[in-house]
A = this chain, B = another copy of it.
């Protein structure tokens, strides 16, 4: 996968010093990015109000009923998103718990009768098969489903659209003998969904199934990231509302066929994803606010809150159903996943230093984690670039390696005698519990097996548990920590849906518990609470969130009294880690080549004016333009917006009339709205157009210019662009600083920003700015001297501090 020079340059800093290399690359490579494990062309989204005659007419014609319809349907869709995501999340959980649970029960039973070889074989082969299955369906059916999906959704919400993010060609996912899949597929509502959105269903199905199998296969990967992507998929599909190909155009969904409404739905969907995977509704809203969304309004906050409220209530109801024991090994899990409430959580000033130490270690480890992850992903993508089959081979070898480690390492730990005052059965009976027997004699337990030979959720539960301060040995915890740390880094990059949240929590909890054991009786906090703080610190050090992590941890553990300490730990670890590198999702996003637009302007942008970065040549259209010219320009350039000038006005010099979009030009060409002479058409000529013709289709569904065939005669005709232009595009003067233009571009959510000259006796427009013109790579390519300037140097030395600027 050699198509990511941007990311390479940015992080290795060396190539930036070579201007020639940069100048040639900057406008070629930034048009593609890696979505999942697939290279896709990318486009920008456009949140500008497009003002042409048809849309204006459409607004005027919207009455009270339409507004009600719009509002009602929008809320209804949010309700459906919540409903579907909670069902998927619940079934996902159910399937993982049952698959992984059955596996561990069978192996444990075999261990009990000392058939160790057989147990290993079952464990090994089930993991191998599940991983193989997950990686095959991901690699060959839905490559976009690989990885966590959070970087892709985050880029989408920033305005980067890749056709593969939420859609895929129809492919049948066959032969899935996964119980959960049948459950899903036979579930009435979901089934209907799949029929309707057959076109997109496969990605979702694949992400769901892939995620279940991958997580069940004892790989050290999480399910939160894939759930976020699933939620965003559900939202995007619902918002799209049917497809013309299948004759399922729902008229009342036509108002949502624009980027603004779709962005709202995707934001709600990603909030619902987190809410469903951690049963943390408020945390979900805050996660999508703090980490995912680039634009935010109060109304959107309420909508997200509504969606996650639906998720919370559905989950609560489904858990009620499970309480009667119908859910197999899922058992009687409550709404709080890792409850660490204790009546007497007290701590005083002397407990603060260990907590600060935890924060600092968390920051260091977190940034080191991000650093290693980037390196590993870089190596992986190099390997994947060689041959696609390597994707499968790598996944399988990771699985083999994992199985061997998980089964082999507990043999290193010595058996411990069961404590007399244990609060639960020792050794553990059944699947989950603190005291795994493994190879030990009766009355003894293997502490390392309790952690490592277990599902991730159970390992977290054991680490967080109170009244077990003497359960673990130093060596076991250390082995477990090292295993988790490195295994999770190597497992993330495989071609299967994989999240980062749970692995980071496990790793953080293990070293937190270790620190707790070191501090020992000098602290009032029990080791379980140290594990919670450790998990918080590693999350803070790796993901760099504050409020949302705080609330998610609170909702996971239900210990409000710990809140001040969690806040301290998060702040310390985030600050320490920010000194070294960026947020893990930003690193992955950069690696994948998404042109993410930051909300703040870099200091050197204040030194540059707009005209310094605008690159030519500019393609202009006349307001009455020859068909041939339009076709030629569309075929020879990849631009999506063209300024339109009017030379026939009363003024002696041409006047800027507006902006016309490629998509709209293609509609005009396809509908052949041509004039034989170059005079302005009367309004009757456009009666057969309506606003519907210009609404944005689902991503990747637009017509291509290559598909349109025109005769020689038609080529000689004219198109009157008057009614089709956006007659009031946003403009900036060429002398404006780049920082100021960026603020306008980013805050309003533009796709094209026209640059007008300071003195008006030249052409009325001198250039057009797009997202790529604001990318540091492009700017530094055009102005290589900046690299050596003071500003640039500071930027490299204080990469993260400037974010706080």
Contacts and interface: CB of A to CB of B under 8 A. Distances in A.
A305 B736 contact: no
User: Chain A, interface size: which category?
Assistant: 35 or more
A411 interface: no
A620 to B, nearest CB: 17
Given A313-B564, A735-B727, A759 B651 contact: yes
A733 B731 contact: yes
Interface in A301-327: 301-303, 305-306, 308-309, 312-313, 316-317, 320
B759 A564 contact: no
A607 interface: yes
Contacts of A606: 49, 56, 59
Contacts of A67: 603, 794, 798, 801-802, 805
A801 B560 contact: no
Interface in A700-716: none
Contact of A317 (B282, B306, B349, B560): B349
B736 A51 contact: yes
Copies of this chain present = 2
B560 A336 contact: yes
A64 to B, nearest CB: 5
A574 interface: yes
A382 interface: no
Interface in A512-561: 546-547, 550-551, 554-555, 558, 560-561
B655 A759 contact: yes
A282 B563 contact: yes
B59 A564 contact: no
Contact of A743 (B62, B320, B651, B748): B748
A743 to B, nearest CB: 6
Given A748-B747, A798-B67, A564 B281 contact: yes
Given A71-B804, A309-B571, A564 B335 contact: yes
B298 A290 contact: yes
A297 interface: yes
Given A301-B290, A312-B564, A547-B286, A736 B728 contact: yes
Nearest to A601: B49
A803 interface: yes
A597 interface: no
A645 to B, nearest CB: 12
Contacts of A313: 564, 567-568
Interface string A642-660: 0000000111110100000
Contacts of A289: 289
Contacts of A75: 804
Contact of A730 (B59, B62, B298, B744): B744
Interface string A239-269: 0000000000000000000000000000000
Contacts of A170: none
Contact of A739 (B49, B564, B801): B49
A561 B320 CA distance: 13
A599 interface: yes
A1 to B, nearest CB: 30
A692 B198 CA distance: 63
Contacts of A744: 730, 744, 748
Given A59-B607, A312-B563, A600 B299 contact: yes
A760 interface: yes
Interface in A735-779: 735-737, 739-740, 743-744, 747-748, 758-761, 764
A463 interface: no
A732 interface: yes
Residue with the greatest number of chain B CB neighbours at <10 A, chosen from A48, A564, A740, A803: A564
A146 interface: no
A182 B281 CA distance: 45
Contacts of A732: 728, 730
Contact of A759 (B70, B649, B727): B649
Contacts of A63: 790
B655 A305 contact: no
Contacts of A281: 563-564, 567
A174 interface: no
A276 interface: no
10 contacts: A67-B603, A68-B801, A281-B563, A282-B547, A289-B289, A297-B600, A299-B600, A309-B567, A334-B561, A744-B744
Closest 6 CB pairs of A and B: A728-B736, A309-B567, A747-B747, A312-B564, A305-B546, A558-B560
Given A305-B571, A309-B568, 15 more contacts: A51-B740, A59-B606, A64-B797, A67-B805, A70-B805, A71-B801, A301-B546, A305-B546, A313-B564, A320-B349, A655-B758, A728-B736, A743-B748, A747-B748, A760-B760
